[in-house]
Structure 1
Amino acid sequence: MIQNIRRSLTDLLGAEYTAAVCRARAALTGESPEALRAVADEKVDFYPEAFARRQEELMGDIGHSLAPAFADTEDGAPTHSYRAAQHSFAAPLGGLGAFRIGEDGRLYFAGKSEHYQIPLGHDFPGYSLIENAKRLGIPNATHNNTRGFITRTLERRLIAAANGLQPTDPALDRILSQKEPGVLNTVINLETGSLAVEAALKMMLSRFYTIDGAPAQYAGRVPVFVVMADNAGGVTGNYHGTTVLAQTLRGLWPDFYTAAQKNELYKVVSVPINDSGAFAETMRRWNEGKYKTAGFCHEIVLMNYGGIRLSEEYLQAAYKVCRATDTPVLCDEIQSCAWYDGLFLFRKYGLTPDFVSVGKGFPGGVYPASKILTSAAFDSLSQFGALVTNGQEELASLAYLVTMEFIGANGAHIEAAGRYYHEQVRALAQKYPQVCTGVEGDAHMTALCFDSVDDAVDFCTRMNRDRCVDISAQTYKPNCPPVALTKLPLITTETMAGRLVALFDSALAETAAQKGAAL
């Protein structure tokens, strides 16, 4: 059961800080300090009963027209690829929790949490604390050398959570002072997941080519990036963002990469999924002679490659090999962070990465705000080595804190609902063996696997077009298992998940019947 909590800005940020904010606002505007203090102390319901009740009610209206359609003729000015992918009928006119009303007036269920951005849904009541912060005049815009109190507070709380500690635990100060690999104690505030990963890749490269031309630890050796393979042994199984370097890790920019490899600037090699022996052999091969592994980059759930979940045993074994070969590890949690009790999936696996990229879910779709958590052992970039002007936004940091507070109070619900949903989809796959081959992923990030691309596309079309449930068929990568990807908002209850699975059931029945008729 989802627990409502009530918090004020003072609860989240402390009385000393909010008192200082109120004094500053009063000095700037002449407002009453007492009235400002009341805003700082106002407790907000994060999940009021009326909001919770409406979520359950709306579940029965998915696919129905709840508002007049918007006769939209605006095409914008997109690129060709964006225009080809556009579905304006489902673009949002409004949203509430796990739902949005599209421009066609119908009610849609955010079955992928608007591409992993809204773990707490649209218009989450707890984010009204951001409006209170605005009323107090807390500015959003700061810069790298004027990081505000909220951002500095968030940094400390993220490091505490990444190490399984409460922010008040005395052990946190000891962790913050350590310099060993595998101890996360440093934060770089960025805006997008791509930039967060890019910062990690830069720090890996800086052991071979330093940013300022100073001697590098592994100067003269060829850096080798290790990534997850696809089912054909290629490099398309991974996805770590849209910067040029990250895209070459998955096979894009082939001419550019071939030139870089020919000139021995760097190399990319892949390791088979969940094959510990092959991983160890790969690491042995590329730590000989002129080559040195620069880093191992992985997600835990490959949401851009069939939703495949890497096993705990595989990753734990891989981390041991990486530590023995002085190979830093990037755990890319852009898609999985904030979707678990404890916030991070790597902690459930018992892993000790050197870099963790986080974002998307933490700011709840309110602001773009991603970060790289790393070890002080790899703190090798200058202040301008990984920087965006807007990376330290105070209100974005407040959105993080609100999200973390709610998830921290609802760990039991998150675990139970995710487990229930995954089990129900697994049972459904077994019910339709003529089209389904099983499930992948984990908890809310469950992927339904299909026998063929055509079956996956047919099912997703029926869900999107006829039932207004936003899911997608993953068909754009070669050698990728055909799957339907889902990522339910954390505010989805077991009752809501059951109703959703019933919609899956009806669509699968139609897909199976059509396939049977075609045979």
Structure 2
Amino acid sequence: MKAVKQSLVQLLGKEYMDAVTAGAALLTDLSAEAAAGIADDVIEFLPDAVMELTNRYLDQVGTSVVPALNAVMNGAPTDAFHKAANRNASPLGGLGFLRLGEDGKLYLTAKSEHYHTSLGHNFPGYKLIDHARALGITNATHNNTRGYITRLLERELIRTANGLGRKEVRELDNILDSREPHVLNRVINLETGTLACEAGIKMMLARFYRLDATFPAPKYEGRTPVFFVMGDHNGGGQANYHGTTIYAQLLRDMWPGMYEKLEQEGALKVCTVTINDINDFRTKLEQFNKPPFKVAGFLHEIILMNYGGIKLEEAFLQQAYSLCHEQDVPIMCDEIQSCMWYPGMYLFKEYGLNPDIVVIGKGFPGGQYPASRVITTAEMDTLNQFGALVTNGQEELAALAYLVTMKFAEENAPYVARMGAYYENKLRELGSKYPDLIERIEGKGHLSTIFFHDADAAIAFTRKMNERCIDISAQTYKANCPPAALTKPPITATKEMFEYLLRKMDEALNTITLWGNTDERSEDG
């Protein structure tokens, strides 16, 4: 892993930090010299000592390392959250891929705390956020006062989304000025992936309906917008997931009574397309891209982490993109799950795709803040300021968390690629060892999942891993999707961590019969 060391001055620029330190000397109890010292303080993002420490504690995962928290605090959850609660695993602290639970045990975060702590817990590089706070950099801004760090981040997102190096300034300026189709050069700052996906859906709807009375007649006014989403193996919509707003939930078979009325009135229609079937995609595009319909857009993830981690094939997506671009169908690539877990930070770049809307979040702020972004084109810049806006979307420290994460990930792209390939290959070797239990390994790199032949086996395997304080989850409730165990280790995971995880998986699989129950063998065989 490549060492990354940065100060605020190096990351944000001297001119800006000179202004910040002048303000700190005025508005805080810091002297000018002390403020300058904080701004110039170089932080090593991930010291070797931290990695050595986490590796050293691997053998203590699942054991009690501190006294348990005995205080009872149930909070005030809804029934659904109360049923799902696991207070033993709730965090007292953590470091890297380790979490310290309230029960005093060490846990292995093999799912990156439900997919968002891309750099693990308490990543040392985020000390720059503490430095910024100490210098009085305010987090709270609003849409009309977007701060310097937020504006710098927007530029960096456009640079990296277009695959440019840091020195390609002229090329970046040309992209920012472009009004050509499919050129990503606009950013909307929001908070959650749900809100970002909703913004993308509204951009598509704006080509059919006026946002308000001041807007001109939309390009496809009077036609029924048809949203293409990934379908499940039963032909329904449970394979796609683009957030929890009503529109996004309509795309995946929720609120069926409401959807039926909207469809009957010609307000909108949802069309599911078969996973990795370009002929089905082409047929449905021909059917719905003519009056009285018009395909409003194609929305997709690349790794369907809410449908067993199935991977969409490059050839399928490339052909689907070509068809959409030919027929004026915008594409939203939802990278909430996959962003930051692959070299270059965006999986769509690795696939050679050119979407009109890219949605990112989760991994970019590394669990420090809720902070999503929509990256889009001049052509899809169809909303006014209040069409996609949240009060806290322009937070400066959230933007700084992005920049820290991006700096580390960009410098360590080879490491991310190497370790992702190592994990996926070793997991495939493990799967081939248990063909009666495991159907196949799905996903890609760190986002790899295990498909079982039998739901009971998937549940038994996940339970055994959880009993060892290894955080993975089973997905056994989706329509006709092979029962799966889901994993997503942080990109800072070491080879030692992967070896430990794989060894514990092997031990768990070795105790499971075809019926998903334990047999009488000991765990060492």
TM-score normalised according to structure 1 size: 0.98
1:63-74 equivalences in 2 (<5 Å): 63-74=62-73
Q: Secondary structure at the match of 1:413?
A: helix
Q: Secondary structure at the match of 1:208?
A: coil
Q: For the Cα contact (< 8 Å) 1:432–1:512, is it kept in 2?
A: no
The residue that corresponds to 2:227 in the other structure is: 225
Shift of 1:414: 0.6
Q: For the Cα contact (< 8 Å) 1:306–1:482, is it kept in 2?
A: yes
1:288-437 equivalences in 2 (<5 Å): 288-437=290-439
The residue that corresponds to 1:156 in the other structure is: 155
> Matches of 1:517 and 1:14 in 2, distance apart?
59
The residue that corresponds to 1:267 in the other structure is: 269
The residue that corresponds to 2:522 in the other structure is: none
Q: For the Cα contact (< 8 Å) 1:3–1:47, is it kept in 2?
A: no
User: Which sections of structure 1, spanning at least 5 residues, go unmatched?
Assistant: none
Shift of 1:335: 0.7
62-71 or 299-308, which deviates more: 62-71
Q: For the Cα contact (< 8 Å) 1:472–1:486, is it kept in 2?
A: yes
Q: Secondary structure at the match of 2:57?
A: helix
Shift of 1:494: 1.7
The residue that corresponds to 1:470 in the other structure is: 471
> Matches of 1:118 and 1:460 in 2, distance apart?
21
TM-superposition CA deviations, 1:412-456 (whole Å, max 9, x none): 111111101001111111101111111000000000110111110
The residue that corresponds to 1:204 in the other structure is: 204
> Matches of 1:284 and 1:482 in 2, distance apart?
34
Instruction: Confirm whether residue 497 of structure 1 aligns to residue 493 of structure 2.
Output: no
The residue that corresponds to 2:188 in the other structure is: 188
The residue that corresponds to 1:215 in the other structure is: 217
The residue that corresponds to 2:523 in the other structure is: none
CA 253–20 in structure 1, closer or farther in 2 if over 3 Å, else same: same
Shift of 1:495: 2.2
Q: For the Cα contact (< 8 Å) 2:460–2:517, is it kept in 1?
A: no
The residue that corresponds to 1:120 in the other structure is: 119
385-394 or 67-76, which deviates more: 67-76
**Number of residue pairs aligned between Structure 1 and Structure 2:** 516
> Matches of 1:90 and 1:195 in 2, distance apart?
29
Instruction: Confirm whether residue 179 of structure 1 aligns to residue 182 of structure 2.
Output: no
> Matches of 2:480 and 2:307 in 1, distance apart?
9
Shift of 1:212: 1.5
1:278-297 equivalences in 2 (<5 Å): 278-297=280-299
* AA in 1 matched with 2:408: F
1:19-34 equivalences in 2 (<5 Å): 19-29=18-28, 31-34=30-33
1:45-64 equivalences in 2 (<5 Å): 45-64=44-63
CA 515–137 in structure 1, closer or farther in 2 if over 3 Å, else same: closer
Q: Structure 1 stretches (4+) deviating beyond 4 angstroms?
A: 513-518
Q: For the Cα contact (< 8 Å) 2:456–2:516, is it kept in 1?
A: no
Shift of 1:31: 3.2
Q: For the Cα contact (< 8 Å) 2:230–2:237, is it kept in 1?
A: yes
The residue that corresponds to 2:84 in the other structure is: 85
> Matches of 1:72 and 1:184 in 2, distance apart?
51
> Matches of 1:79 and 1:516 in 2, distance apart?
32
TM-superposition CA deviations, 1:252-307 (whole Å, max 9, x none): 01011111111110000011000111111111110122100000000000000010
Q: Secondary structure at the match of 2:359?
A: strand
> Matches of 1:452 and 1:252 in 2, distance apart?
27
CA 233–121 in structure 1, closer or farther in 2 if over 3 Å, else same: same
Q: For the Cα contact (< 8 Å) 1:434–1:512, is it kept in 2?
A: no
Q: Secondary structure at the match of 2:103?
A: coil
Q: For the Cα contact (< 8 Å) 1:356–1:372, is it kept in 2?
A: yes
TM-superposition CA deviations, 1:299-347 (whole Å, max 9, x none): 0000000100000000000000100110000000001101111010000
The residue that corresponds to 2:484 in the other structure is: 483
Q: For the Cα contact (< 8 Å) 1:156–1:167, is it kept in 2?
A: no
Shift of 1:166: 2.2
> Matches of 1:513 and 1:226 in 2, distance apart?
38
Q: Secondary structure at the match of 1:71?
A: coil
Q: Secondary structure at the match of 1:512?
A: coil
Shift of 1:177: 1.2
Q: For the Cα contact (< 8 Å) 1:309–1:441, is it kept in 2?
A: yes
> Matches of 1:514 and 1:328 in 2, distance apart?
46
* AA in 1 matched with 2:263: Q
The residue that corresponds to 1:455 in the other structure is: 457
User: Which sections of structure 2, spanning at least 5 residues, go unmatched?
Assistant: 520-525
CA 125–517 in structure 1, closer or farther in 2 if over 3 Å, else same: closer
* AA in 1 matched with 2:420: G
* AA in 2 matched with 1:365: G
